[in-house]
Structure 1
Amino acid sequence: MSELLKTEAVVLNKINFGDTSKIVHFFTEEYGKLSAILKGARSPKSKIGVALDSFNIVQIVFYKKETRDIQIISQVDLIKHFHKINEDLEKMKYSSAVIELLHNLTAEYEPHKKLYKGTVRILEMINEAKYTPKFLFVKYFIFFIKEIGYEIPYENCTNCGKKLVNEKRISFNLEKGFLCETCRSVSESFFDFTKELFNFFVCLNSKINNVSYEHDDLNKIIFFLEKYLMYHVHEFKGLRSIKLY
């Protein structure tokens, strides 16, 4: 027996199915990630095909059946279309990376309202362009890692407990975490932070957005976060979106 449900959702991606239908992957506010088929979406008479573009915020009504992997959509209403993202290659690159994380690293039917609201907010901010897309994505990446259960503690050395804020050089061990300058010798270092780069990482973990940085600093943090996530989540092989654009 099917249950008729309604929820807000971010469109992750879509693929053609059959002659006139589409299978769409969503990250929803109420039910987490789900896949659903919209029959007739490719028909010339369909008025909702454009609503299913990636990054769009929509409201969907669908028939959920527990024994079915792909649900059936009965209605789609467009809430928000981020046209500036689609007109700018840099914005599209990092918005696609946001979508890639959600699509590959969240579970089907596992609700996460905070992650959903954070995703909508970051897409809004990338679209508004008050800050650079790369900077916003790195902040989201840190937030995403925390929300899926792999938060990176950064205040104290994991070996001796010393506060790290005044250390000149800080190392990171993939198994143990951040290590102070004294404890660097006890474990193999995967990544070395200068004091400036570490302080920047601390700022990225906060709500502060007005911070000066070099774009190479963002590249280093993205590299660090990718490798950290690859170590802890073996099915994650890195961000393809960033390399494709």
Structure 2
Amino acid sequence: MITHTKVIILRMVDYQDSSYILTVLSEEHGKIALIAKGAKRPKNKLSGILQTGSILDVVYYYKNTRSVQTLTEASIEYSADVFRKHFDRAAVLYAVLELLGQLVHDNEVNTPIFAFANNFIQWLGEADDAKPQIFPYAQIRLAEISGIGLVDSRDTEEQRAYLNIESGSISARSEGEASYKLTENQTLFVTLALHYRSSSIFNVDLENAELKQLVQHLDLYFKYHIEGYRERKSDSIFEQMLQVHP
């Protein structure tokens, strides 16, 4: 079946001397693998178009009995070129792309996640300042979109909070062993992420140690609720970003 749709490139790996295997999030078929034959050759029509993080309008041959589909045409809807010039944005982008790849199963169509990813990549590429806090915000939003969102069960937003891994609640007291007390800044950040859609969340003054700890807590939450959830390879890039933002 010839399919014309929009895709987001999550990952690219070399295949033989002249081709790539792409892992993409497809609006039509969910997470699938595409082979871009000959795309490394300078005169190939796909040359220079394929980049991790780019949003493309594509045509591919789809057969549900095949694990890898054949990409035949592609044009750029939003280029990831901007991320090559801005290390901070690239660090956040790669972390989010890897997270997306774990939240969507193969051939699973997830329209809300695709819409979030499509909007997020373009917003991140054009943002005035890509702060590290963007990543835990994306974690919280993607948990919500995936149906495992955190729930604030406190009586007032002013109360210090615990993140309870098993229940997913943000509570005023511990609910068990897998419960982590949040710092004042972490509490404010999570509160803003859950209740408001405002860029003011990125002005919360999280120290690097607080930021790393919050990301780790949220990863533990995903690991508990998402089967097969793994540590991200892109975390080393994110760590370098934190060193630039002392």
SS of the aligned residue for 1:50 comes to: coil
In structure 2, C-alpha distance between the alignment counterparts of 1:202 and 1:179, rounded to whole Å: 9
In structure 2, C-alpha distance between the alignment counterparts of 1:12 and 1:213, rounded to whole Å: 29
Q: How far is 1:43 from its partner?
A: 2.1
> TM-score, normalised to structure 2's length?
0.85
Larger radius of gyration: 1
Instruction: Call closer, same or farther: CA 1:16–1:166 in 2, change over 3 Å.
Output: closer
2:157 to 156, 161, 165: 165
Instruction: Call closer, same or farther: CA 1:179–1:153 in 2, change over 3 Å.
Output: closer
2:226 is matched by which residue type in structure 1? V
Q: Is residue 200 of structure 1 aligned with residue 200 of structure 2?
A: no
In structure 2, C-alpha distance between the alignment counterparts of 1:236 and 1:30, rounded to whole Å: 24
CA shift digits 1:141-197 (9 cap, x unpaired) = 11111222221111x15xxxxx24242x3223322343644x43x623531024553
In structure 1, C-alpha distance between the alignment counterparts of 2:162 and 2:87, rounded to whole Å: 34
In structure 1, C-alpha distance between the alignment counterparts of 2:64 and 2:12, rounded to whole Å: 22
2:197 is matched by which residue type in structure 1? K
Q: How far is 1:28 from its partner?
A: 1.4
2:235 to 218, 226, 242: 242
2:107 is matched by which residue type in structure 1? Y
> Moved runs in structure 1, 4+ residues, more than 4 A?
none
Q: How far is 1:35 from its partner?
A: 0.4
Structure 1 residue runs without a partner (length 5+)? 158-162
Q: Is the Cα contact below 8 Å between 1:126 and 1:133 reproduced in 2?
A: no
Instruction: Call closer, same or farther: CA 1:82–1:21 in 2, change over 3 Å.
Output: closer
2:177 to 188, 194, 207: 188
Q: Which residue of 1 aligns with 2:166?
A: 175
In structure 1, C-alpha distance between the alignment counterparts of 2:171 and 2:22, rounded to whole Å: 47
Which residues of 2 match residues 18-37 of structure 1 at below 5 A? 18-37=16-35
In structure 2, C-alpha distance between the alignment counterparts of 1:54 and 1:180, rounded to whole Å: 38
Q: How far is 1:209 from its partner?
A: 1.1
Q: How far is 1:125 from its partner?
A: 1.9
Structure 2 residue runs without a partner (length 5+)? 241-246
Which residues of 2 match residues 17-96 of structure 1 at below 5 A? 17-96=15-94
Instruction: Call closer, same or farther: CA 1:179–1:5 in 2, change over 3 Å.
Output: closer
Deviates more, 1:220-229 or 1:210-219: 210-219
1:165 is matched by which residue type in structure 2? E
CA shift digits 1:24-77 (9 cap, x unpaired) = 111112221110112221223214222111011111101111110101111111
In structure 2, C-alpha distance between the alignment counterparts of 1:142 and 1:25, rounded to whole Å: 24
In structure 1, C-alpha distance between the alignment counterparts of 2:69 and 2:120, rounded to whole Å: 27
Q: Is the Cα contact below 8 Å between 2:49 and 2:75 reproduced in 1?
A: yes
CA shift digits 1:86-123 (9 cap, x unpaired) = 11211111100111012233112211222112112211
Q: How far is 1:221 from its partner?
A: 2.5
